Structure 1
């Protein structure tokens, strides 16, 4: 996660030359996503999540975002420069599971965001007593969440195959799916 996490910023906030640069909304969203994942994993309690989220909201520069996640995301990768070429099967599996968690998080946040926005619009424009059309939005985005959760193994296997193919390419070898991944 650490390499993908830091590359998600407009500029690397760990780099001294960018620490005083203004943070974008996307930079803040990246940190908030890491905080939410840490909360979901049980690495933060609700109070810590709220406190850190407030810090992120108040942050103006990239440098102010680094301390918020310093104890949650390594600032350097143990496999710096290695890429996937030397990744073990276990590391590839872990990366695939990490990607699945990201997919699941995106599906849940998409559901929550779309449902909340449409419900607020419905409430402000028509209100109770009228047909609750946001239920259709909730149903549609809820189906995506259910599909993502129910297909976990298939999605993880798909990510593993993609990473194995990428590893073979880095090694300059032809890619052939192994029997376990293609079952």
Structure 2
């Protein structure tokens, strides 16, 4: 039995449309912004007509054949990894600059100076390491 556009959508209907959008996103038909926007609209939709608008410009997929399945969006994980990689890159750059300054001062005064860059690198590096390990543990679950 075909549903009319005014008919109220169930949670299962919304989950099926979300699964279809994930499939189209994985195939490259939607970029991350379009996917996020449509996914937000899916869960705000109240009728079959509102759900139909979200997939109107995509190739037809029989929604009844799709079962709702929870799949993670790969982009989200890489954003998280990118954030940690960026933090480590900033840490390495700041540490390198501090070591260059320390070396220049040491050579300029011809004295042995306490390696103070360790005071900057140490706590910051430990905090990043803990964040990296804690983040990796959450991904495994």
**TM-score, normalization by structure 2:** 0.43
Task: State which structure, 1 or 2, has the greater radius of gyration over its C-alpha atoms.
Answer: 2
Normalised TM-score (structure 1):
0.34
- Structure ranking higher on relative contact order (CA contacts 8 Å, 6+ apart): 2
